[in-house]
Amino acid sequence: MPADSTLTTPLTGWHAAHGGRMVDFSGWRMPVQYTSILEEHRATREAVGLFDISHMGRLAIAGPDAAALVDRLVTRRVADLVAGRIRYGLVCNEAGGVLDDVLVYGAPGPAAVWGDHAALGVVVNAGNRAKLVAWFADHRAGFDVRIDDRTLATAMIAVQGPGAVALIDTLAGGAASELKNYRGAAADFDGHAVYISRTGYTGEDGVEILCAADDAVPIWKRLVADGAVPVGLGARDTLRLEAAMPLYGHELSETINPFEAGLGFGVTPAGDRDFIGRDALAAARAAPARTRIGLTLDGRRVAREGTPVLSDGRPAGVVTSGTFSPTLGRPIALALIDPAAAGGTLSLDVRGTALPAKACPLPFYRRTN
């Protein structure tokens, strides 16, 4: 039984009633899979996958100093983020370690999702919601802002795959194909007031829908009825790893800086803008102590998080995420290693056996549609 404090999304009951194998994930009761991870992964790569991502934290920042506050705390400039634009960035501490990776949304609506007059929206990882809410609160002194945690009043559903945009268009009056990548807008979805963004965490085209909590079940059921395949956290991980997208706690943490994680694009070069971690990041950009590398293995044994990486037989780093790639048909891994070791003969120490590995350009998978 889940701990009493475990949170449920508006869809938790649906998952449990429809074959979802439920686990406690970052304090939320979530489905790992419904049928099979491989089947759900393939459905997303080939058709349309449907994901309950309501566990992610959704914050609305309002007031005259909203942009100034967020600009101070995120590594990308957001003060110029106009309505409809979305930017990926990192929240860092003074040492340049990553507290979370986030999406920032310009002037999002409707009010049913974001509250009244939201100047910016910030979506954070489920496991970091309390930490980020406290971080924002600790740094708001002197800023005229309202910070509204919208998480429990709302839900979030991702629809991803080659058929996703067409499916959403039929239910939202063409709203999905009107959005360019990393753009979002309020829309009417099958009679519900929602926010739709052209974003995702799978490497496929698609959208993420934010809605009021009460609208989640009818929206979800409608998408299932129209052919979207429910996908659990197991396939969510294999999909994002094939796309070489970072997962907080693995590729990112308070002791890993954005450059080591391969996310230099998420840090605006230091100009006249000040943000927390700026100076530490400027130094790190010039000389990262570690580097991210992609690896593939022969055979079928998976090298998972924590697996030591050897270069010419000597310790060179560690695997941050590893799985079996359904698309490549072989094990893949992301690792953090000593930059000087990247050119050596690489192997992975899996339960005492040194398995040969090859460096692989990232991402492992790139969509062609």
Residues forming the site for another protein (CB under 8 A)? 1, 32-33, 35-38, 234, 238, 299-302, 323-324, 326, 331, 351
CA–centroid distance for 227 within its chain = 24
Q: Which is nearer to another protein, 34 or 114 (CB)?
A: 34
- In the complex, the smallest distance separating the C-beta of residue 243 from another protein, rounded to whole angstroms, is 16
Residue whose C-alpha is closest to residue 146's, from 100, 184, 115: 115
Contact 50, 43 (CB under 8 A): no
Q: Which is nearer to another protein, 183 or 301 (CB)?
A: 301
Q: Which is nearer to another protein, 21 or 183 (CB)?
A: 21
Q: Which is nearer to another protein, 291 or 307 (CB)?
A: 307
- In the complex, the smallest distance separating the C-beta of residue 235 from another protein, rounded to whole angstroms, is 9
- In the complex, the smallest distance separating the C-beta of residue 327 from another protein, rounded to whole angstroms, is 12
**CA pair distance 266, 323, nearest whole angstrom:** 25
Q: Which is nearer to another protein, 154 or 320 (CB)?
A: 320
**CA pair distance 64, 94, nearest whole angstrom:** 25
**CA pair distance 121, 104, nearest whole angstrom:** 6
Encoded tokens for 294: 């992609």
- In the complex, the smallest distance separating the C-beta of residue 261 from another protein, rounded to whole angstroms, is 24
- In the complex, the smallest distance separating the C-beta of residue 49 from another protein, rounded to whole angstroms, is 16
Encoded tokens for 357: 């590995």
- In the complex, the smallest distance separating the C-beta of residue 234 from another protein, rounded to whole angstroms, is 6
* Residue 85 CB neighbour total at 10 angstroms: 16
- In the complex, the smallest distance separating the C-beta of residue 347 from another protein, rounded to whole angstroms, is 18
Q: Which is nearer to another protein, 66 or 303 (CB)?
A: 303
Contact 305, 319 (CB under 8 A): yes
Q: Which is nearer to another protein, 43 or 81 (CB)?
A: 43
Q: Which is nearer to another protein, 158 or 303 (CB)?
A: 303
Q: Which is nearer to another protein, 113 or 332 (CB)?
A: 332
- In the complex, the smallest distance separating the C-beta of residue 140 from another protein, rounded to whole angstroms, is 40
- In the complex, the smallest distance separating the C-beta of residue 227 from another protein, rounded to whole angstroms, is 23
Q: Which is nearer to another protein, 37 or 168 (CB)?
A: 37
- The strand order across the sheet containing 57-62 reads 86-92, 98-106, 120-124, 57-62, 146-149
- In the complex, the smallest distance separating the C-beta of residue 237 from another protein, rounded to whole angstroms, is 9
